[in-house]
Amino acid sequence: MNDTEALAELDRLLQSPGEHEVLEFKTASEEFDFDKLGKYFSAFCNEANLAREKRAWLVLGVEPKKHAIVGTQYKNSWQKLRKLKKDIGDKITDRITFMSIHEVYKDGKRVLLFDVPPAPRGVPVAYDGHYYGRDHESLVPLNPEKYERIRSQLIQEDWSATLVPGATFLDLDPAAIEKAKIEFRKKFPDRAEEMDRDNWSDLTFLNKAKLTSKGNITRAALILLGSPEAEHFLSPADVKIRWKLKNEREEDVDHAVLGMPLILAVDTVFNKIRHLKYRYMREPGSIFPEEVDKYEPFTIREALNNCIAHQDYTISGRINVIELPDQLVFTNRGSFIPGSVERTVLENAPEEKYRNTFLAAAMVQVNMVETAGGGIRKMFLFQRDRLFPMPEYTIGPDRVEVSVTGKVLDLAFAAILARNRDLTLEEIILLDKVQKHKPLTEVEVAHLRVRQLIEGRMPNVYLSLDVAQKIQRKADYTKNRGLDKKWYVELLCAALIQHKHMNRVEINDLLLEKLPDSLDARKKVNKVTNLLTELRKKNLIRNAGTRNEPRWVLCKPL
């Protein structure tokens, strides 16, 4: 949208009889509260999704009641507006941000139009961990009914399961069928005996492997096994994988476009990627370098096969694999159905919803994706084992990108991982955010401080190699003696700042596991009780609930 189109859009919005769920005017002549902007963003994303609107609008510099142009000086440079887009994305689910911010002048006065995208299908959008919506003109917490309505959005028809009129067994590639048989035997060795004993025909195999439906050719069968000449059956879907090799200046060096059958195209792309070695010292002070593959083969195949399984083929886009000197980037079209990458990784549970259920099931049968989910989590674990950065997901309304780095990014990060194999994956993800200079919440920072993994003050915390080298010597001592009381106080106060209030069960969940191993369960509970009593007497916290159902809140900053 250019300036002329944006001005025309402003004129259209000014004609609206009033504000509603996807339109808000604000005067904001000088400033506008950042937190309120983030809450509006969350609310507009969710309401635009529910209303099936392509966008929502927040307009600054317009009086809300009479729609009079008053002008605004808020963020009065493009540098500030660009930074604002990033800052909002840092606080929003999966880093979604404004599609654009238009700066227009009407009657000589500056007006800002914030173009807000709808929430991706099935993914409610939160600001700073909280979900917001609209009740007519009012900004309110997103109610449970709306939240569930977004989360329960499913593709009504499984595109990949649809039968293809006119397509026959002759439209499948013989080499692809043989490849599928080989992988089926690997995946299910117990059924290989059945294949030989009963002398399965190709048609029987395709039915048993859930690629066809009662002998009929499905779109999933064509995607994985279809001959190149059969691609017209899937038009306008563009069932292709584009591989590009780029140099340090991100100039194209080589490229290839691979079409159906994708079960063979995956191998071709895998072989085109340069499988280089990476030499490094796994531990500081070591004189013996270790040599590993820059990329775990499983990670390459999992990322690429996920693109195939989750691609929205109705959008007519291609799957892309971009090879940079130290990074692989995979992209596919469509929203990220699981909703949150971190939840998918940390919960380690198979996802309940899929875009292409039939295709995903067929890919399981022919050994292309994990049986019970968990493939994304494995990618994170392989990166951890190499001491490399965690996979990086960039999620938009209709596009998903995952980047895998093939080298050590921060020596301190690598040293901490090398010396501390007891770190949880959640802690490693937080440390990865620190090395990539991404924002953390007060609770996350407090937790890393308690573990003595970071130094510095928010927002400029950092990993220290000195800290990394000291941790191992102090670990056993800390487990038995416990941390200084101030760490528990800081952690509790940070949690109260983040969550506003906490009950005793929530406080126990926060603190008990961090108390020293030398205390039994009863003594740990007593220690938390004593800590709460001490902080209450010092007027740092107070009980805003009842004696039987306490609700602790912060009285003043620490």
Query: What's the domain count of the chain?
Result: 4
> Is 412 within the bounds of a domain?
no
Q: 349 with 411: CB under 8 angstroms? A: no
Q: 71 and 55 share a domain?
A: yes
Mean pLDDT value of segment 192-217: 92
Name the residue range of residue 500's domain.
433-554
> Is 535 within the bounds of a domain?
yes
What is the Cα–Cα distance from 88 to 449, expressed in whole angstroms?
A: 26
Q: Which helix (H) or strand (E) holds 246?
A: strand 241-246
Q: 344 and 326 share a domain?
A: yes
| 8-state DSSP, 145 | H
pLDDT band, residue 93 (cuts 50/70/90) = confident
> Is 106 within the bounds of a domain?
yes
Q: 192 and 128 share a domain?
A: no
| Model confidence pTM above 0.85 | no
What is the Cα–Cα distance from 94 to 341, expressed in whole angstroms?
A: 8
Q: Which of 234, 261, 287 is the last residue of a domain?
A: 234
List beta partners, residue 105.
110
Q: 12 and 128 share a domain?
A: yes
What confidence tens digit (pLDDT) does each residue in 529-542 have?
Answer: 999 999 999 888 99
**In angstroms, how far is CA 496 from the centroid of its own chain?**
26
Matching residue, tokens 């106060």 = 493
Q: What does the DSSP assignment read for 343-396?
A: HHHHH----S--SSHHHHHHHHHTTSS-TTS-HHHHHHHHHHHHTPPPPEEEEE
> Is 418 within the bounds of a domain?
no
pLDDT band, residue 467 (cuts 50/70/90) = low
- Indicate which CATH number applies to the domain containing 49: 3.30.950.30
pLDDT band, residue 352 (cuts 50/70/90) = low
Q: 226 and 253 share a domain?
A: no
Q: How big is the chain, counted in residues?
A: 558
Nearest one of 249, 253, 359, 269 to 320, comparing CA atoms: 269
> Is 483 within the bounds of a domain?
yes
pLDDT band, residue 286 (cuts 50/70/90) = low
Q: 206 and 295 share a domain?
A: no
Nearest one of 56, 75, 72 to 139, comparing CA atoms: 56
For 206, 385, 414, the CA distances from 214, given in Å and listed in that order, are: 9, 44, 52
Q: 261 and 393 share a domain?
A: yes
pLDDT band, residue 471 (cuts 50/70/90) = very low
> Is 415 within the bounds of a domain?
no
What confidence tens digit (pLDDT) does each residue in 362-409 have?
Answer: 999 999 987 655 788 999 999 999 999 999 998 877 889 999 999 999
Q: Which of 175, 199, 234 is the last residue of a domain?
A: 234
In this structure, are strands 241-246 and 552-554 parallel, antiparallel, or unpaired? unpaired
Q: 15 and 63 share a domain?
A: yes
Q: Which helix (H) or strand (E) holds 28?
A: none
| 8-state DSSP, 171 | G
What confidence tens digit (pLDDT) does each residue in 251-284 have?
Answer: 999 999 999 999 999 999 999 999 999 988 776 5
List beta partners, residue 257.
242
Tokens linked to 381: 């674990």
> Is 417 within the bounds of a domain?
no
- Indicate which CATH number applies to the domain containing 445: 1.10.10
Q: 165 and 267 share a domain?
A: no
Q: Which of 129, 151, 173 is the last residue of a domain?
A: 151
Q: 442 with 421: CB under 8 angstroms? A: no
What is the Cα–Cα distance from 399 to 330, expressed in whole angstroms?
A: 11
Q: 330 by DSSP, 3-state: which?
A: strand
Q: 398 and 441 share a domain?
A: no
Q: 263 and 368 share a domain?
A: yes
> Is 201 within the bounds of a domain?
yes
- Indicate which CATH number applies to the domain containing 335: 3.30.565.60
Q: 454 and 350 share a domain?
A: no
